[in-house]
Amino acid sequence: MKKFLTVVLALAMVLSLAACGGAETTAAPASTTTAAPADGGDETTTTAAPEGGDAADIVVGFSQIGAESDWRVANTNSIKTSVADAGFTLIFDDAQQKQENQIKALRNFITQGVDVIAFSPVVESGWDEVIEEINDAEIPLILIDRATDIEGDEYYETFMGSDFVEEGEKAGKWLVEFMEKEGRGDEDIKIVELEGTVGSAPANDRASGLRNILKDHANYEIVASQTGNFTRAEGQTVMESFLKSEDKIDVLYAHNDDMALGAIDAIKAAGLKPGEDIIIVGVDAVKKAFEAIVAGEMNCTVECSPLLGPQLVDNINKLMAGETLDKRTNTIESLYDATNAEAELPNRVY
Ligand code: AHR
């Protein structure tokens, strides 16, 4: 009964937000309400599972970073679908890449008395206060995809996601081996790097991972490095400026495929052949990157799976059963290039 009241309160709260913020309210089959404040801030959606089952009493607050990339959209879909299939009630908040929106959403989840908070931190630092509030409220916290820089691991139940340093190392190893196979192993190789969101775990770690490998290969040099914020549009703009400022570019390393795809547009517009004149390495393994590899316009993508919904549901079920979760579950991931992308393309779901 207490949980039922909580769900009703949560729904009422979101509806009142909608009313005062000029928000959009939509009714979906399983009762979904969406509140988007008039200030262009973040958007909150509550999906209540059909009444009657115990699962619907479990309220999950999920604070998502935004919709900056195909990866992120696939991640949101995976979580929404899995949570709905499990019958839980989901309060979903899209922070539009802003930390202040995420902090606001997390505080709303505390006020609403959700049973579990799931959260992908946009950047690593600045969470101490709000996470202390979550811990004080004794709401179990699950970190999805990205970590924070808070020391220790007592403040969350589990981290589920990828090892971003390893992804950068995989990209570096692939590049060195590829250049050797091409007979360019001893050449001076100039690399430009499109970084992800400044201060985010994947940007920090994918940068370190590549450097961990290149430090043993003195002929490789990162000549320019700038953020493209994980978006295709910024990837294109930053690549345009790299093409103007750098005399020689042999390789583009992009911290995600969306930025690599934007850069491909810039490279083509400059009259160069992406994948030949400039070797292109991305991360994520989204379907469009596979298509670019098959078309010979991109050379490699390191997989980073966004399909974390089923694992989240599994962890919530375990938590509700009183089980202790493993502190970290790394996602098992592959790497794709011209040797295997075409065969895998029909299987891609994101
Ligand atoms: O945190 C994972 C990263 O975030 C993905 O690589 C990127 O595409 C997304 O926006």
Burial grade of 22 (CB within 10 A; 0-12, 13-18, 19 or more): exposed
Ligand 1 center–CA 29 separation, angstroms: 30
Q: Is the CB–ligand 1 distance for residue 123 below 6 Å?
A: no
Q: Is the CB–ligand 1 distance for residue 254 below 6 Å?
A: no
Checking if the pLDDT of 6 tops 70, the result is no
Give 322's DSSP letter.
T
Question: 7-160+306-330 sits in which CATH class?
Answer: alpha beta
Ligand 1 center–CA 61 separation, angstroms: 20
pLDDT tier at 158 (50, 70, 90 boundaries)? very high
Q: Over range 92-101, report the average pLDDT.
A: 98
What are the φ/ψ torsions at residue 103 (nearest 5 degrees)?
-65, -40
Question: pLDDT higher for 45 or 215?
Answer: 215
Query: Percentages helix, strand, coil for the chain, rounded to the nearest 5?
Result: 45, 20, 35
Torsion of CA 59, 63, 68, 74, to 10 degrees: -30
Q: Confirm whether pTM is higher than 0.85.
A: yes
The pLDDT assigned to 19 comes to 35
Q: Over range 206-234, report the average pLDDT.
A: 98
Ligand 1 center–CA 285 separation, angstroms: 11
- Which tens digits make up the pLDDT trace of 272-325? 999 999 999 999 999 999 999 999 999 999 999 999 999 999 999 999 999 999
Mapped onto helix, strand or coil, the DSSP state of residue 332 is coil
Which of 284, 303, 350 to probe ligand 1 with, by most ligand atoms within 8 A of CB?
Answer: 284
Residue 205 in tokens: 């770690």
Mapped onto helix, strand or coil, the DSSP state of residue 26 is coil
**Ligand 1 atom nearest residue 286's Cα:** 8
Q: Go through the chain and tell me how many residues it has.
A: 350
Ligand 1 center–CA 212 separation, angstroms: 21
Q: Over range 49-62, report the average pLDDT.
A: 79
The pLDDT assigned to 93 comes to 98
Q: Are 189 and 251 in contact (CB under 8 A)?
A: yes
Q: Over range 6-27, report the average pLDDT.
A: 37
Least Cα distance to 312 among 107, 175, 159 occurs for: 159
The pLDDT assigned to 28 comes to 34
**What does the alpha-carbon distance between residue 66 and residue 62 come to, in Å, rounded to a whole number?**
12
Classify domain 164-304 by CATH architecture. Answer: 3-Layer(aba) Sandwich (3.40)
Question: pLDDT higher for 17 or 293?
Answer: 293
Checking if the pLDDT of 31 tops 80, the result is no
**Ligand 1 atom nearest residue 120's Cα:** 1
Residue located via tokens 């690399």: 191
Residue located via tokens 């295709």: 232
Residue 284 in tokens: 């994520």
What are the boundaries of each domain within the chain? 7-160+306-330, 164-304
